[in-house]
A and B are shown apart, each in its own frame.
Chain A
Amino acid sequence: MTITALPITAHPAVEGGLQLEVTDVSPQTESIVSITLADPSGARLPSYVPGSHLVVQYGSGVNAYSLTGSGNGPTEYTISVLRVEDGAGGSVAMHQLGVGDRVYVSRPRSAFAPASTATHHLLIAAGIGITPVLSHARAAADRGTTSSLIYVYRTGAGAHVEEARELLGPGLTECSNRESFQKVLTEQLTTQSLGTHLYVCGPTAFMDSVLDQARELGWSSARLHSEAFGAAELEDGEPFTVNLVRSGIKLDVPSGVSLLETLEKAGKTIPNMCRKGICGECVLPVLRGTPQHRDLYLTEQEKAENTTMMCCVSRSEDPELELDL
Chain B
Amino acid sequence: MSITIDKETDTATLPERIRRFPFPFLGDQYRYSANVEPANKNVPTDAGAWGAGLIDIDEFYHQEIADREAILNRDPSRMAVLPHMRPAVWDTIATLLPAMAAENPDIMSFHREGNTCRWHNGLQNLDIEFTIGDDGSLPMEPLRFLGTQIQDDIVLLDIRDNTMWLDAGLVTFAADWSFNFDVGMSFLEIHGPVPRVKEENIISRAEQFLMRLQPGEQFRRTNWTMTVGNRLDTSTETYPEWGPDRGTIAADPDMPDKLHLRVEVQHLIRLPHTGVLLFLIRSYLLPLRDIAKVPTWREKFGHVLAELPEDMAEYKGIIRYRKAASDWLLAG
Contact = CB atoms under 8 A, between A and B. Distances in A.
Interface string A108-136: 11100101110000000000000000000
A53 to B, nearest CB: 11
A202 interface: no
A110 B132 contact: no
A275 interface: no
A47 B274 CA distance: 9
Contact of A273 (B85, B91, B214, B273): B214
B207 to A, nearest CB: 14
A229 to B, nearest CB: 16
Contacts of B214: 107, 109-110, 273
Given A115-B160, A116-B84, A117-B160, A48 B215 contact: yes
A116 B276 contact: yes
Given A47-B94, A49-B274, A117 B84 contact: yes
B31 interface: no
B273 A72 contact: yes
A46 B87 contact: no
B133 interface: yes
A84 to B, nearest CB: 27
Interface string A190-221: 00000000000000000000000000000000
Contacts of B74: none
B215 A52 contact: yes
Contacts of B88: 116
Interface residues of A, number: 23
B275 interface: yes
Contacts of B94: 47, 73
A49 B158 contact: no
Contacts of A46: 216, 272
B114 interface: yes
A198 to B, nearest CB: 14
A149 B215 CA distance: 26
Give the interface SS of chain A, mostly helix, strand, loop or mixed.
loop
Interface in B201-230: 212, 214-216
B254 interface: no
B112 interface: yes
B112 A48 contact: no
Interface string B262-305: 00000000001111100000000000000000000000000000
Contacts of A71: 272-273
15 contacts: A47-B215, A48-B272, A73-B114, A73-B115, A107-B214, A108-B216, A108-B272, A109-B214, A109-B215, A113-B275, A116-B85, A116-B88, A116-B158, A116-B274, A280-B212
A183 interface: no
A-B CB proximity, top 10 nearest = A47-B273, A47-B272, A49-B275, A116-B84, A222-B161, A117-B84, A113-B275, A110-B215, A49-B215, A110-B275
A154 interface: no
Chain B interface residue number, banded = 20 to 34
Given A108-B215, A113-B275, A116-B276, A72 B84 contact: no
Contacts of B91: 47
Contacts, number: 60
Nearest to B276: A116
Contacts of B276: 116
A297 to B, nearest CB: 10
A73 B133 contact: no
A109 B212 CA distance: 11
Contacts of B273: 47-49, 71-73
Interface of A: 44, 46-49, 52, 71-73, 107-110, 113, 115-117, 142-143, 222, 273, 279-280
Nearest to A119: B84
A49 B272 CA distance: 6
Contacts of A117: 84, 158, 160
B134 to A, nearest CB: 11
Contacts of A47: 91, 94, 215, 272-273
Nearest to A297: B212
A143 B87 contact: yes
A279 B212 contact: yes
A112 to B, nearest CB: 11
B94 to A, nearest CB: 7
Interface string B105-142: 00000001011000000000000000011000000000
B212 A116 contact: no
A44 B216 CA distance: 14
Contacts of B112: 44, 73
From B85, B114, B133, B274, residue with most partner A Cβ within 10 Å: B274
Nearest to B212: A279
Contacts of A73: 94, 112, 114-115, 132, 273
A107 B273 CA distance: 12
B216 A107 contact: yes
Nearest to A142: B133
A292 B26 CA distance: 45
Contacts of B216: 46, 107-108
